Amino acid sequence: MSLHGKSILAGHLAGPSSATFQAISPLTGQPLEPTFHQGTPSDVDAALQAAENAFQIYSALSAQKRAEFLEKIAEEILALGDELLQRTHLETGLPLERLTGERGRTMGQLRLFAEVIREGSWIDARIDTALPDRQPLPRPDLRRMMLPLGPVVVFGASNFPLAFSVAGGDTASALAAGCPVVVKGHPAHPGASELVAGAITKAAAACGLPAGVFSLIHGTTPEVGLALAKHPAARAVGFTGSHRAGRALFDAANSRPEPIPVFAEMSSLNPLIILPGALAERGAQIAEGLKTSVTMGVGQFCTKPGLIFAIAGEDFQKFIPLLQKAFQAAVPATMLHGGICASYHQGLKHLESITGVQKAAASEVEPAIDKTQAEAVLFITDSATFRKESALHEELFGPQTLLVTATDEADLLALIQSLNGQLTATVHGTTTDLAGAGAVFAALQQKAGRLVVNGFPTGVEVSPAMQHGGPYPATTDARFTSVGSAAIQRWARPVCFQNFPATALPEDLQDANPRGVMRLLNGQLTRAAV
Ligand code: NAP
């Protein structure tokens, strides 16, 4: 299957553009065929107009029809076979084994959202039946449920080229909610994006859906992304990437005449706190686990533990060489693209230049620059330096972490209080440590969306109870998650129908409850009819 290099606008290929680009393989530093055409302002307009036109029909489809579409997308992605894995490997440097797992996760997410909408309780239906005889005033009949927002713009993430890109979690959850999707492809993997977009387009045609339900636009400049976020037909934005880009999109969406929500997942250091008992009992095990978690995916996970807090003392002194040894043994590996690798090395240099920060260990094997490789690096600092230096509070994407020494328990708490918002926070402790850690947990709860005990934050389960979102700057809206079935809530808003005739009500609010969805009926959760 050869790649055409064009944006896909509601089932049609966009025309050629004067601005073109090629993917650069991080494995070789060489450009890959073919040439891709950057989306133009008229492409942006065509995609969003088509999405707006498709919205009325698509959002009115039954949950069963939308679920079949999601399952068909999963089927078409699998049918792309090895070609998808090989192309993604060339464009991202990610090993085939990892990409095979990620493709499984991508299909799993699509099928999960199919199940979520078939089951139906995500719509949060509430019915307060009329009380005509209530004194002093009668109560009207009130029925409320979540309804889709409209066309959603999704930015493919570089670090999950399948599971958080064209048909990733944002797209799957938005399509499930009933929203057409326009994807801004990540410029680092345009070939993989085109293949997956082709699969979605095929699935839409096979399910007889309006073609405007999905479009892919290529771009290598902020203009394309900003035009998408500012287009009047866009109703929400989903984004995963840098703080700089996420914030630019958030600001652009808020400065529109009619602002729209931007759900951006941007930057997190994922602090990991080692309490004294755990340090004494299993320092070696924690050091090894930390090295694995920090270097997993070459440190390019939003949940990488980039900060470690522990209290000074004899056990801490024994822990440092264990961690140093583990980092020295870590083998350099290829990062996703040249830009990320350059930012990583720039960030390392900056950390080295900060007074009070020491480079304590690095991979013994030199990274191969022509293969876009990065070495693992461990830094150490004290709590006063950490609190003072703002650069130490910023995410550095790559296999690096910073060990911060607290002088005592009060200092540890002050360190936690100095943190920005985080996706995750982890505590290692013995039973006794954890029993006395109430203040630590209370402080962390204010800072992070997911708290982990005696584990590592990398490896995010896609399930109903998952929370992948935290206070700013981890995300722009800590009330929502971008991973797990609750992610669908971002793309819907509640609407209340007062005294509506039965025939004009959405099916799931009708007395008979034909699908048997869970509803809060006069204060009681039930699947029963009214
Ligand atoms: P990025 O630079 O944030 O780019 C992500 C997407 O946003 C791309 O489609 C990019 O396309 C677009 N974009 C960039 N700047 C923009 C702007 N000013 N206005 C509108 N759109 C813009 O992310 P990246 O290339 O994946 O990696 C760069 C850094 O992002 C990494 O070093 C890392 O720090 C961070 N990152 C974080 C996560 C996370 O999960 N927290 C994930 C990935 C990356 P164009 O280039 O075409 O504008």
Nearest CA to ligand 1 atom 30: 242
Can you tell me which atom of ligand 1 is nearest the CA of 423? 41
Interval 291-305: pLDDT, tens:
999 999 999 999 999
Q: What does the pLDDT average to over 504-508?
A: 97
Cβ atoms of 233 and 388 within 8 Å: the answer is no
User: What pLDDT is attached to residue 491?
Assistant: 98
Q: What does the pLDDT average to over 482-488?
A: 98
Q: How far apart are CA 298 and CA 94, in angstroms?
A: 9
Q: What does the pLDDT average to over 21-31?
A: 98
User: What pLDDT is attached to residue 226?
Assistant: 98
Q: How far apart are CA 33 and CA 35, in angstroms?
A: 6
Percent pLDDT > 70 in the chain is: 100
Q: Which two tokens stand for residue 391?
A: 């650069």
- The answer on pLDDT for 478 being more than 80 is yes
Query: How far away, in angstroms, is 120 Cα from ligand 1 center?
Result: 34
- The answer on pLDDT for 1 being more than 90 is no
Nearest CA to ligand 1 atom 40: 302
CB-ligand 1 contact for 308 (6 Å cutoff): no
- Helix 63-79 to helix 81-92 angle, to the nearest 10 degrees? 80
Percent pLDDT > 90 in the chain is: 100
User: What pLDDT is attached to residue 453?
Assistant: 98
From 189, 242, 395, mutation site for ligand 1 pocket: most ligand atoms within 8 A of C-beta:
242
Strands 262-265 and 236-240: parallel
Which residue numbers are catalytic?
Answer: 265, 302
Q: How far apart are CA 488 and CA 492, in angstroms?
A: 7
Cβ atoms of 379 and 400 within 8 Å: the answer is yes
Identify the band that residue 249 occupies on the pLDDT scale cut at 50, 70 and 90: very high
CB-ligand 1 contact for 252 (6 Å cutoff): no
Query: How far away, in angstroms, is 186 Cα from ligand 1 center?
Result: 8
CB-ligand 1 contact for 245 (6 Å cutoff): yes
CB-ligand 1 contact for 155 (6 Å cutoff): yes
User: What pLDDT is attached to residue 132?
Assistant: 98
Q: Is the peptide bond before 41 cis (omega within 30 degrees of 0)?
A: no
Query: How far away, in angstroms, is 235 Cα from ligand 1 center?
Result: 21
Interval 49-106: pLDDT, tens:
999 999 999 999 999 999 999 999 999 999 999 999 999 999 999 999 999 999 999 9
Q: How far is CA 54 from CA 135, 165, 346, 391, in A?
A: 46, 22, 45, 45
Identify the band that residue 476 occupies on the pLDDT scale cut at 50, 70 and 90: very high
CA angle in degrees (0–180, nearest 5) for 236-241-243 = 90
The rounded mean pLDDT for the chain is 98
